[in-house]
Structure 1
Amino acid sequence: MNLPLVRNKLLVVGILVSIFMSSCTSKQDVVYFQNAKSFETIVDTDTFKAKLKIGDIVSVYISTLDLAVTRPYNLVRATGERGGDLIDYLIDSEGNIDYPVLGKIKLLGLTIEEAKALFKKKFSEGKLLKDPVVIIRVMNFRITVSGEVRSPGVYPVSGERISILEALGMAGDLTIKGRRDNILVVRDFNGTKTYTRIDLTNKEVFNSPVYYLTQNDYVYVEPNNSAISAASGDLRIGTIISITSFILTTALIFVTRN
């Protein structure tokens, strides 16, 4: 019997098995909402509404049956052939915008609906406009998704809110190397940062305070163990190979002596 050849074959087999065992990803690592049962009904009791923050840029449009009386409130800037665009307003460090005729208006911490109600109240109290329609939009609503997703980047949001599932979908979803049970959401509200982690493999994610994102939220998907091993030069796999090689060689010597 050609012992060196047998030993080399056993060594190769051991190495391949070690690599396979160390690189496998289980179903529990990648499947979302694993504890959701078939035909289970979850009632959405969420009442989340995004609130205006310092640094938000808002567009405010006022409309009534008489367009002439609203003209002083709908200032535009010239944009060449298009005629003009509405001027946007920055919420300053004190939480105010400087609005035509009305002056300083504090919007910090208000929802869009609350901000609309505040404008209507001011128009009514000053007897300036009757039953105006107020349209307010956040112009710089965007979220950032980075880490182990297919298309990391900064994404603009057109609506008033977006779920973390929608945000991850915009980024192409997680790669197979992304850790699904420990996603980090960093939120900044007027200089105070909060760090919240959520588990996408659990249906309780829908009850998380960061399930709905706010403007300028940062979502980070950390790599799983296999990705970390690959990035660090496969040190763990190298250790496994060395140990396996030693065990197989020792076993082969024992067999040949007996």
Structure 2
Amino acid sequence: MRFLHPLLIVAFVVIATSCSYKQNQLLFQNRVSALTDTAQQAPVTPYRIQPQDALQIRNLQNLKYIVDEVPMSSGNGGTSAGGNIAGSGQTYQVEDDGTITLPAIGHVQVAGLTRTQAAKMIEDLYRKNLLKDPLIELKVTNLKVTLLGEVKSPGNIPLLKDNTTLVEIIGQAGGLTPAASEKDVKIIRGKGKGQKVHLIDLSDLNSISDPRTVMQNGDIIYVAQNKRAIRTENLQNFNTWAQPALLLLNTALIIFTLSRQ
């Protein structure tokens, strides 16, 4: 029976090392280096409205919107003069010619403007033609980023405000998983020949002020596994076929030992 002991020890070690582990990320702990010149010079440009964008527009000066429990919403176009724009707000799609059709005003060219510029222009138009002291809020509701990899809730996340950062997006997704590598976060930005991949190290405190981490529409964010998680996964894959083989070998040795007695 002494032949069984080494094999049983090996089997125990393999099974024990397949147990789960807990890995805590070390975020923003070190200042490993200053930002590169390229990162420092990377401009943070505000998004400009494009055809097919969806714009949610409402007048914050209308107190009825604050009182109403369930604000009204509707599709494209307008209804009674100033009714929807002064009340709960609604969503307008930017047409191929770059315009939206607003109640009592008609076609307004918004393509090429930033969110702030478009809101100011619409505010001025309603002040001139219909409303007293309007305060227009405008959101581009179709902007999003895609978050993949080792985060708790991966998927598409809308960009509802300007200058949303990588840290905010990861926070909205519930944070990193224990298997995440905080030093290996990739932002894939752009399409075709202009596509770039930015590697972000979230263990570096400087990453908070890195302009590359300001999210842009269409960004793909991938959080890689850490080395320990990769090793554990490989070991678990090994165990899926090693454990049955060890069990079979143990059984064969027991039978062989008993037959020799």
Structure 2, gaps ≥5 residues long:
33-41, 63-78, 241-261
SS in 2 for 1:201: coil
Q: Residue type of the partner of 1:60?
A: I
Structure 1, gaps ≥5 residues long:
38-45, 66-70, 78-83, 239-258
1:200 CA displacement: 0.6
Taking structure 1 as reference, are residues 148 and 64 closer, same or farther at Cα in structure 2, changes over 3 Å only? closer
Contact conserved, 1:35 with 1:202, CA < 8 A, in 2? yes
Give CA deviations for 1:165-217 in whole Å, capped at 9, x if unaligned.
Answer: 2221222211121121121223459xx75533311111121232342324454
TM-score by length of 2: 0.57
1:231 CA displacement: 4.8
Alpha-carbon distance in structure 1 between the residues aligned to 2:123 and 2:177: 48
Q: Residue type of the partner of 1:61?
A: R
1:117 CA displacement: 2.7
Give CA deviations for 1:96-142 in whole Å, capped at 9, x if unaligned.
Answer: 4344424141333x332222233345567xx5357543221233354
Alpha-carbon distance in structure 1 between the residues aligned to 2:166 and 2:236: 32
Alpha-carbon distance in structure 1 between the residues aligned to 2:170 and 2:31: 20
SS in 2 for 1:162: coil
Cα RMSD of the aligned pairs, angstroms, is 4.6
TM-score by length of 1: 0.58
Alpha-carbon distance in structure 2 between the residues aligned to 1:195 and 1:96: 34
- What does residue 173 of structure 2 align with? 171
Taking structure 1 as reference, are residues 152 and 14 closer, same or farther at Cα in structure 2, changes over 3 Å only? closer
Percent of paired sites with the same residue: 22
Counterparts in 2 of 1:246-257, with a 5 A limit?
A: none
Alpha-carbon distance in structure 2 between the residues aligned to 1:193 and 1:154: 19
Contact conserved, 1:74 with 1:87, CA < 8 A, in 2? no
- Corresponding residue to 1:91 among 76, 91, 94: 94
Alpha-carbon distance in structure 2 between the residues aligned to 1:96 and 1:229: 54
Alpha-carbon distance in structure 1 between the residues aligned to 2:22 and 2:108: 57
Q: Residue type of the partner of 2:94?
A: I
Contact conserved, 2:148 with 2:221, CA < 8 A, in 1? yes
- What does residue 106 of structure 1 align with? 110
Counterparts in 2 of 1:135-150, with a 5 A limit?
A: 135-150=137-152
Alpha-carbon distance in structure 2 between the residues aligned to 1:13 and 1:177: 24
Taking structure 1 as reference, are residues 8 and 154 closer, same or farther at Cα in structure 2, changes over 3 Å only? same
Taking structure 1 as reference, are residues 13 and 197 closer, same or farther at Cα in structure 2, changes over 3 Å only? same
SS in 2 for 1:182: strand
Taking structure 1 as reference, are residues 204 and 92 closer, same or farther at Cα in structure 2, changes over 3 Å only? farther
- What does residue 156 of structure 2 align with? 154
- What does residue 73 of structure 2 align with? none
Alpha-carbon distance in structure 1 between the residues aligned to 2:145 and 2:82: 28
Aligned residues: 212
Contact conserved, 1:62 with 1:73, CA < 8 A, in 2? no
- What does residue 35 of structure 2 align with? none
Taking structure 1 as reference, are residues 6 and 139 closer, same or farther at Cα in structure 2, changes over 3 Å only? closer
Contact conserved, 2:23 with 2:178, CA < 8 A, in 1? no
Alpha-carbon distance in structure 2 between the residues aligned to 1:63 and 1:128: 17
Q: Is residue 33 of structure 2 the alignment partner of residue 31 of structure 1?
A: no
- Corresponding residue to 2:226 among 203, 224, 227: 224
- What does residue 51 of structure 1 align with? 47
- What does residue 254 of structure 1 align with? none
1:143 CA displacement: 3.8
Alpha-carbon distance in structure 1 between the residues aligned to 2:54 and 2:195: 20
